[in-house]
Amino acid sequence: MKLNKLLSAAAAIAAALSSLAAFPAGAEGLQGPDDVLSDGAFIYDLVDGCYTIKRCTASIVTEIPAVRNGVTINAIGDNAFANCSAISKLDIPDSVKTIGDNAFVGCTSLSEVILPERLEHLGEHAFMGCSMLETIILPETLTEIPAYAFNMCDHLKSIDIPDTVTSIGDGAFYECTSLETFRIPASLEKIGTLAFNEWYSIKDIDASANDSYVVEDGMLMDKKKAVIYRGLASIEGDLYIPDTVTTIKSGAFSGCLGISNLFVPDKTTVIDDYAFAYCPNIKKADLPQGLSSIGEWAFAFDEGLTTIEIPTTVSSIGSLAFANCINADKVLIPEGVGTIGEKAFIGCDALKSVNVTKSVTSVGEQAFGKTYDSEGNVIDLEGFTMSVFGGSAAHKYAKKAKVKYDVVGRDLSSIIFIIVVIALIIGVIAAAAVLMTKSRKSADRGAKKAKKKAEEKAAEENYEKIVETDKKKDNKKDKK
């Protein structure tokens, strides 16, 4: 035990010494161009006369040098600091213009980072999973926040975005669950899918600097109020979506715990992915005729829903759309729905039966009659039965998934085929009967003709006999 402690202590001391030696003052710590370029803290690549940090090899660093061996460090490469979980603070020099993809992904202790004022490019997933990062200031040289750049930074409370930014990528701030305030930059033109998903703490969104967006009734919308991008977490009670809205974007109300009843207007045609996910207190969702699609995870984990009524105009229900709506005991799927995605109704434990119409042409795996056990494994939902049309997609799904089902009708094409076959059989039988009848009639007529001829012949022969007898009698008389 003591030996293990000593070894651990020695390892800790060695790591500390390596961190102290991380930044030698001159070229003596940097090996030659034919070898791996390293100074004990970083491995470098020489690109176009400048150094790119390829990998951080020190356990702990607090700053990155601007120059090494008289050569400027102008880039941090892809994955350079990935999973360096011991780094808590980092100062990046102004010489750095590029931060690559996944550069700081998984730096779970990083709470403070100073970005360079001349930064021109920030890579995708750059700070993804930096769960202790609380605040960050982006320089005015940036024009884009790429996909998932700050995904899962769940301690991030504020971020300063310059007005030069025109695009926020997909999932850029996905699962920033502690974010309280957000300012829309003046030049912003594009907000990517799931960029603002699962903002459980958002209290204020300021769009006053941008002419293309407006915040009204706690909802961030485009200027025409046709698209909703995000609702505040503070929304409570009944939520009436404005009559002008046609699209509710991905993650727009995800994590809004205070919504109790939802009313969507007739003009709304699209409810996007995650739009109302993790809203456990929604008891009623009044969806309009005219709605065409319900996205993936759209109402997932909405545990308050008891009745799910799909409008007749909906053509597709996305994967996991109503997953884990554990208290939903009634689901109405009308004629007109075409596709139902994978696991669309998985974990709806109160649901004991569902009727699936013949218009449904595709049913994804584990869509019905499945739930999870305590370890997260997919299992059969006890006591569940599907009512399906014979030969339909739902019928095939039930048989393949080994879900109990009742056949309530047959596919129309099968019925038509059976009717045609029966009609052909009847036709053949009728034709045969007619032929048999004609044959009998012909045979009867032939027999009658033969009989008549025989009778005529017999009568003729009898007449000839009589004539012959009379002739004989006359001859006898003449002789006398």
pLDDT per residue as tens digits for the range 207-243:
999 999 999 999 999 999 999 999 999 999 999 999 9
Q: Is residue 160 situated within a structural domain?
A: yes
- Prediction pTM value: 0.78
CA distances from 319 to 308, 368, 378 (A): 15, 11, 15
Q: Cα separation of 465 and 122, whole Å?
A: 133
Give the DSSP letter of residue 236.
Answer: -
**pLDDT tens, 463-480?**
455 445 544 544 444 444
Q: What's the pLDDT at 408?
A: 86
Q: Is residue 182 situated within a structural domain?
A: yes
405 touches 398 (CB < 8 A): yes
- Strand, helix or coil for residue 112: strand
Q: Is residue 460 situated within a structural domain?
A: no
Number of domains in the chain: 1
Residue 60 domain boundaries:
17-211
Q: What is the CATH number of the domain that holds 190?
A: 3.80.10.10
227 touches 249 (CB < 8 A): yes
Q: Is residue 36 situated within a structural domain?
A: yes
Beta strands, E only, 233-377 = 237-240, 247-248, 259-263, 270-271, 284-286, 293-294, 307-309, 316-317, 330-332, 339-340, 353-355, 362-363, 370-372
**pLDDT tens, 262-303?**
999 999 999 999 999 999 999 999 999 999 999 999 999 999
Q: Is residue 285 situated within a structural domain?
A: no
Non-local (6+) Cβ contacts of 65 within 8 A are 23, 73, 93
Please state the rounded mean pLDDT for residues 58-65. Answer: 92
Q: Is residue 365 situated within a structural domain?
A: no
Give the DSSP letter of residue 411.
Answer: -
Q: Cα separation of 32 and 256, whole Å?
A: 57
Q: For all residues of the chain together, what is the average pLDDT? A: 86
Q: Is residue 114 situated within a structural domain?
A: yes
Q: Is residue 51 situated within a structural domain?
A: yes
208 touches 181 (CB < 8 A): no
Non-local (6+) Cβ contacts of 117 within 8 A are 94, 139, 140, 141
